[in-house]
Chains A and B, each alone.
Chain A
Amino acid sequence: MRYLPKSPAERQEMLAAIGAKSIEELFSSIPDRFRLRATLDIPGPYSEAEVIQYFKDRAAENSKGYTSFLGAGVYNHLRSVVTDAIIQRGEFLTSYTPYQAEITQGTLQAIFEFQTLMCQLTGQEVANASMYDGSTATTEAVLMAERLTGRQRVLVARSVHPEYREVLKTYAKNSGLRVEEIPFTASGTVDANALQAAVKDDVAAVVVQSPNFFGVIESYAPLVDVTHTAGAMFVVAIAEGVSLGLVRPPAEADIVAMEGQSFGLPPSYGGPFAGVIASRDRFVRQMPGRLAGQTTDSEGQRGFVLTLATREQHIRREKATSNICTNQALCALAATVHLALLGKEGLREMAEQNLSKAQFALSELLKIPGVRRTFDAPFFNEFTVELPRSVKIVNGHLLRDKIIGPLALGTPYPQLTKHALVCVTETTTRAEIERFANALKLALERPI
Chain B
Amino acid sequence: MAYPKNYRYTKEHEWINVEGGLATIGITDYAQHELGDVVFVELPKPGAKIELGKSFGTVESVKAVSEIYAPAAGEVIEANGELQNTPEKINTDPHGAAWLIKVRLTNAAELSGLMDASAYEAYIAASGKEASA
Closest residue of chain A to B39 (Cβ to Cβ) is: A310
Asked whether any CB of chain B lies closer than 8 Å to the CB of A316, the reply is yes
A325 to nearest B CB, angstroms?
Answer: 15
Interface pair A285/B40, CB less than 8 Å apart: yes
Closest residue of chain A to B60 (Cβ to Cβ) is: A310
Interface string of B7-47 (1 = CB under 8 A from A): 00000000000000000000000000000000010100000
Report, as a range, how many residues of chain B touch the other chain.
under 10
**Chain B residues, Cβ within 8 Å of A319:** 65, 67
13 pairs across A/B with beta carbons < 8 Å? A285-B42, A285-B60, A310-B62, A310-B64, A310-B65, A311-B60, A311-B65, A315-B64, A315-B65, A316-B64, A316-B65, A319-B65, A319-B67
Binding site for A on B (CB under 8 A): 40, 42, 60-65, 67
Interface residues of A in 264-278 (CB under 8 A from B): none
**Chain A residues, Cβ within 8 Å of B42:** 285
Bound together, the chains give a CA A319 to CA B38 distance in angstroms of 19
Interface string of A302-326 (1 = CB under 8 A from B): 0000000011000110010000000
**Chain B residues, Cβ within 8 Å of A285:** 40, 42, 60
Question: What number of A-B contacts does a CB cutoff of 8 Å give?
Answer: 17
A136 to nearest B CB, angstroms?
Answer: 22
Q: Which of A310, A311, A316 has the most CB of B within 10 A?
A: A310
Bound together, the chains give a CA A56 to CA B115 distance in angstroms of 72
A357 to nearest B CB, angstroms?
Answer: 49
B115 to nearest A CB, angstroms?
Answer: 26
Interface residues of A in 113-141 (CB under 8 A from B): none
**Chain A residues, Cβ within 8 Å of B64:** 310, 315-316
Bound together, the chains give a CA A319 to CA B60 distance in angstroms of 13
Closest residue of chain B to A285 (Cβ to Cβ) is: B40
Instruction: Report if A310-B63 is in contact (Cβ < 8 Å); known contacts: A285-B40, A285-B42.
Output: yes
B58 to nearest A CB, angstroms?
Answer: 8
**Chain B residues, Cβ within 8 Å of A316:** 64-65
Bound together, the chains give a CA A95 to CA B40 distance in angstroms of 31
A227 to nearest B CB, angstroms?
Answer: 22
Interface residues of A in 235-291 (CB under 8 A from B): 285
B38 to nearest A CB, angstroms?
Answer: 11
User: What are the 7 A-B residue pairs with the smallest beta carbon separation, nearest first?
Assistant: A310-B65, A315-B64, A316-B65, A310-B64, A311-B65, A310-B60, A285-B40
**Chain B residues, Cβ within 8 Å of A315:** 64-65
**Chain B residues, Cβ within 8 Å of A310:** 60-65
A291 to nearest B CB, angstroms?
Answer: 13
**Chain A residues, Cβ within 8 Å of B61:** 310
Interface string of A84-106 (1 = CB under 8 A from B): 00000000000000000000000
Bound together, the chains give a CA A2 to CA B42 distance in angstroms of 41
Bound together, the chains give a CA A315 to CA B66 distance in angstroms of 10
**Chain A residues, Cβ within 8 Å of B63:** 310
A101 to nearest B CB, angstroms?
Answer: 12
A15 to nearest B CB, angstroms?
Answer: 28
Closest residue of chain B to A310 (Cβ to Cβ) is: B65
Bound together, the chains give a CA A117 to CA B67 distance in angstroms of 34
Given A316-B65, A319-B65, A319-B67, 11 other A-B residues pairs in contact with their CB atoms under 8 A? A285-B40, A285-B42, A285-B60, A310-B60, A310-B61, A310-B62, A310-B63, A311-B60, A315-B64, A315-B65, A316-B64
Bound together, the chains give a CA A316 to CA B40 distance in angstroms of 15
B4 to nearest A CB, angstroms?
Answer: 30
Bound together, the chains give a CA A285 to CA B40 distance in angstroms of 9
B90 to nearest A CB, angstroms?
Answer: 15
**Chain B residues, Cβ within 8 Å of A311:** 60, 65
